[in-house]
A = this chain, B = another copy of it.
Amino acid sequence: MDMGKRLSADDWTRAALAALADGGLAAIAVEPLAARLGTTKGSFYWHFAGREALVAATLERWERTATEDVITAIGVEPDLAARLRLLMSHALDGGARVELALQPSAAHPLVAPVLARVTRRRLDYLTDVFAGLGFATDTARERSVLAYTAYLGHAQLSGIPDAAPTALRRYVESVVAVLIATT
């Protein structure tokens, strides 16, 4: 990756996050990461106390990028329905791979609280969106859960060949139309 010699702790968490995304928590392994970074364990154990510390730092990094960054990124879109479309497209584009990779380790003591916080924050955000679309509080909450589960599910489908719809734009439109329909 970086041909520059000295590494920072941030380089390690970045690489670890990438490994986590496609390999799960077990893929955060010191020696393989060192090889991938073109260095050795000696570097790692200078910056971190151990593997646990790296995992914790990586999860922290993800919590930041997964909440603040995403929300502020789509926050510029004024149309609320369009925001939902952006989110769904994001999931189908493989933008939620870490969530999936984290799932089997949801009970892990380091993972559980992070996952809980991220989930709650996203649900709160979605609830606001649906409330902004005119839904009553209770209904907005229900729709937000449904929308978020669809988001997660779409991320999952995107990893299965030929399972996701072909006409993405049209499909995403229909999904959001259903989500914001008044029964």
Q: A residues within 8 Å of B by Cβ? A: 22-24, 26, 99-101, 103-107, 112, 115-116, 119-120, 123, 139, 141-143, 145-146, 148-154, 156-157, 159-165, 171, 174-175, 177-179, 181, 183
Quick one: copies of this chain in the complex?
Answer: 2
Contact, CB under 8 Å: B156 / A103:
yes
Give, as a whole number of angstroms, the nearest-CB distance from A55 to chain B: 15
Q: Of all chain B residues, which has the CB nearest A149? A: B153
A175–B171 CA distance with the chains assembled, in angstroms: 19
Contacts of A183 in B (CB 8 A): 177-178, 181
Cβ of A179 to closest chain B Cβ, rounded Å: 7
Which residue of chain B has the shortest Cβ distance to A182 in the bound complex? B181
Q: Are A163 and B119 in contact (CB under 8 A)?
A: yes
- CB of A51, distance to nearest CB on chain B (Å): 15
Closest to A101 in B: B104
Please state if B178 and A146 are interface contacts (CB–CB under 8 Å): yes
How long is the Cα–Cα vector from A115 to B120 in the complex, in angstroms? 29
